[in-house]
């Protein structure tokens, strides 16, 4: 199947770390992605990880990939109110980078 699943909602306090989780199904996915969608806007690519990596860090963002369990997570350090948005993970289905399967999205609410 092509299901990519995420928890629906996460609430954190400003300054705390946020961890958004995702499970995917296609073991042949070459790349896995995290996108951010702010209210009324399109999706913005935050980061991606190649399937042969376990971890990728980019400033406040850390992506962890557990390929055995098909589990992907996004950690946002020092979460700010501006990080409030919906976060989507996506996998490149069938190894093809042009066909992305998106998760259900996690709404991150950051409380001041």
Partner 1 sequence: DSGVTQTPKHLITATGQRVTLRCSPRSGDLSVYWYQQSLDQGLQFLIQYYNGEERAKGNILERFSAQQFPDLHSELNLSSLELGDSALYFCASSASLDSLDRFFGPGTRLTVL
- Cβ-proximal residues to 41 (8 Å cutoff; 6+ apart), any chain: none
Of the pair 14, 30, the CB lying nearest partner 1 is at: 30
Residue among 24 and 88 whose Cβ is closer to partner 1: 88
Say how far apart CA 55 and CA 62 lie, in whole Å.
7
Nearest CA to 2 out of 68, 99, 106 is that of: 99
Instruction: Note the residues at the interface with partner 1 (CB under 8 A).
Output: 31, 33, 40-45, 48, 88, 96-105
Between the two ends of the chain, the Cα-to-Cα distance in Å is 39
- Rounded Cα gap, residues 32 and 18, in angstroms: 19
51: helix, strand or coil? coil
Which of residues 55 and 77 has its CB atom nearest to partner 1 in the complex? 55
């Amino acid at each position: 199947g092509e299901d990519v699943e995420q928890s629906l909602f996460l609430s954190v306090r400003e300054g705390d770390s946020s961890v958004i989780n995702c499970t995917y199904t296609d073991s042949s996915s070459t790349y896995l992605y995290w996108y951010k969608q702010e209210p009324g806007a399109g999706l913005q690519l935050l980061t991606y990880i190649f399937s042969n990596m376990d971890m990728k860090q980019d400033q406040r963002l850390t992506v962890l990939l557990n390929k055995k369990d098909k589990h992907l997570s996004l950690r946002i350090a020092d979460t700010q109110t501006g990080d409030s948005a919906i976060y989507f993970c996506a996998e490149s289905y069938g190894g093809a980078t042009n066909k992305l399967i998106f998760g259900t999205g996690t709404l991150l609410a950051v409380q001041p």
